[in-house]
């Protein structure tokens, strides 16, 4: 088996566990409790199964950032009704993965306008085999697809606040967006930030660890010590914790880039343990240590070869 294909098989097997875990959790909708955290200024963080949801409520209606799994839509809608009697007018997807877009079709049919970066719609519309997750994704159609897409940024002016969404290239995927509410000093990072465990970096969707470091640097330039940060996964966070995450990513990225540039094989990279000092703290989440090292390795290797993928084609 060619070396690259062997690497892809290792990554696919490892990350399939993560994908199945999330899908199984989403399927058990009756067992998932949707909780809310009040962030002030009509903003809330909802947690259940899948990516954390951001919510803006007020007289102008409800704006939702990400929507978890389809099975959870009734529970999510019930929680929203506890916070507002206004309809869900907009749903903004931070990227295309199913644990952040699974409720699109349900909410779109109910009248919400789905908004995302151009590459989110492209990847959802195309479907196909996700190498990193060893998972066939059917093309999304109809109400599941974003009907408003943007390039660099888009702003909403609702409920007395500005919502500023901005695209980040080639980090977790090639279609990531973060969302900042400047008047409230609240940031939703999407999956640019996994709080407390190693992040998924979807190299098959144009993501790589160098881009993650650059993305977090941009986030840190926005926030201050009082910013409330909604991560893609994990508990509500703050600047100090985001800085710790960034330092971990940067050190692993530096070591991995050097190891790959020197021609080390996957097995040699694993033996070198480039993340060893961080494993006890970060290696107990969706991805365990070796699968994460393999994921980072594959993304770095493709980047150094100039072969990582984008919704627009190879780069």
Q: Please, what is the Cα angle at 50 between 135 and 313, to 5 degrees?
A: 45
Mean pLDDT confidence for 256-284: 97
Tally of structural domains, the chain: 1
Kindly report the CATH number assigned to the domain that includes residue 202.
3.60.15.10
Quote the CA–CA distance of 274 and 259 in Å, as a whole number: 9
How confident is residue 309, by pLDDT bands cut at 50, 70 and 90?
Answer: low
Which residue range is the domain that position 302 belongs to?
Answer: 3-314
The pLDDT of 84-107, averaged and rounded, is: 97
Taking the alpha carbons at both ends of the chain, their separation in whole angstroms is 25
Element (H, E) at 37: strand 35-40
In sequence order, what are the beta bridge partners of 155? Answer: 164
Please give the pLDDT value at position 93.
98
Burial of 260: CB neighbours in 10 Å, binned 0-12, 13-18, 19+:
buried
119-174 pLDDT, tens digit each: 999 999 998 777 766 788 899 999 999 999 999 999 999 999 999 999 999 999 99
Of 176, 8, 184, the residue nearest 92 (C-alpha): 176
Higher model confidence: residue 305 or residue 5? 305
**Highest mean pLDDT, choosing among 29-33, 45-49, 301-305:** 45-49
What are the tens digits of pLDDT across the range 21-43?
Answer: 444 444 455 689 999 999 999 99
Q: What integer pLDDT is reported at residue 13 of this predicted model?
A: 36
């Amino acid at each position: 088996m060619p070396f690259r294909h062997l690497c892809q098989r290792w990554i696919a097997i490892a990350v399939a566990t993560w994908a199945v875990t999330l899908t199984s959790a989403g399927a058990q909708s009756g067992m998932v409790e949707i909780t809310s955290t009040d962030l002030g200024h009509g903003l809330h963080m909802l947690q259940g199964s899948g990516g954390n949801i951001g919510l803006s409520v007020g007289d102008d209606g409800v704006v939702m950032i990400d929507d978890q799994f389809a099975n959870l839509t009734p529970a999510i809608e019930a929680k929203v009704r506890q916070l507002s009697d206004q309809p869900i007018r907009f749903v903004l997807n931070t990227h295309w993965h199913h644990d952040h877009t699974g409720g699109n079709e349900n909410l779109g049919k109910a009248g919400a306008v789905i908004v995302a970066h151009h590459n989110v719609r492209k990847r959802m519309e195309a479907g196909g085999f996700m190498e990193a997750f060893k998972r066939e994704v059917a093309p999304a159609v109809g109400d599941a697809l974003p009907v408003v897409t943007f390039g660099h940024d888009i702003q909403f002016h609702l409920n007395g606040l500005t919502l500023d969404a901005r695209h980040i290239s080639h980090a977790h995927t090639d279609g990531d967006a973060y969302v900042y509410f400047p008047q409230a000093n609240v940031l939703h990072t999407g999956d640019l930030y996994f709080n407390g465990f190693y992040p998924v970096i979807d190299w098959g969707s144009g993501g790589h660890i160098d881009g993650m470091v650059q993305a977090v640097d941009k986030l840190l330039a926005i926030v201050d010590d009082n910013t409330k940060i909604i991560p893609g996964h994990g508990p509500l966070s703050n600047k100090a914790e985001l800085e710790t995450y960034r330092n971990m990513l940067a050190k692993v990225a530096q070591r991995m880039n050097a190891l790959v540039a020197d021609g080390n094989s996957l097995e040699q990279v694993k033996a070198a343990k480039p993340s060893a000092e961080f494993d006890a703290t970060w290696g107990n989440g969706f991805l365990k240590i070796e699968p994460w090292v393999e994921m980072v390795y594959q993304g770095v290797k493709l980047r150094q070869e100039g072969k990582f993928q984008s919704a627009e084609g190879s780069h």
